[in-house]
Copies of this chain bind each other. A is one copy, B any other.
Amino acid sequence: MQLRMTNQREIILHELIKSQRHLAADELYDIVKKVMPRISLATVYRNLEILSGAGMIGKLEISGRQKRFDYDASEHDHIYCVVCHRIDNLEMVHKGLSAEEFGAVVGYSVTGYRLEIVGVCPECQEKTENKEKCS
């Protein structure tokens, strides 16, 4: 069960990091196709799963339908725009948030937590303001 660094795996990882965004599989597929036109979407899915399993990228299973993958594998929280669905990274918010304590109350053994702050990103705030002006 060893990990081979194939051409496609390398490109997928590289393009995700290069993007500096939180891409969904199909978005990354579109980007990677420009470099390697015969790659299949299934390969992108498979590799994103493997790479996040190996801790080389992050996997975001938050807010709705599509999984998104994070070029930054280190631990941090996320903020999510309800209008355009973009995600940005946040320094960890939880200083003083003791998830373990809260888990203990209900008998869980806590392995981690996910925090997602929800709001409207600067760009979408601007767009909304403009729309209001014009209507």
Contact = CB atoms under 8 A, between A and B. Distances in A.
B111 A119 contact: yes
Contacts of A61: 62-64
Nearest to A98: B93
A99 B116 CA distance: 9
Interface string A94-134: 10110100110111111111111111111001000000000
Chain A interface size, as a band, is 35 or more
A13 interface: no
Contacts of A106: 79, 88, 90, 122
A70 to B, nearest CB: 15
B119 A103 contact: yes
A51 interface: no
A108 B121 contact: yes
A81 interface: yes
Contact of A79 (B63, B82, B108, B116): B108
A125 B116 CA distance: 27
Contacts of A96: 96-97
In the complex, the 7 A-B pairs of residues with the closest C-beta atoms, listed nearest first:
A107-B122, A110-B119, A108-B119, A113-B117, A114-B116, A112-B118, A99-B117
Interface of A: 61-64, 77, 79, 81-82, 88, 90-91, 93-94, 96-97, 99, 102-103, 105-122, 125
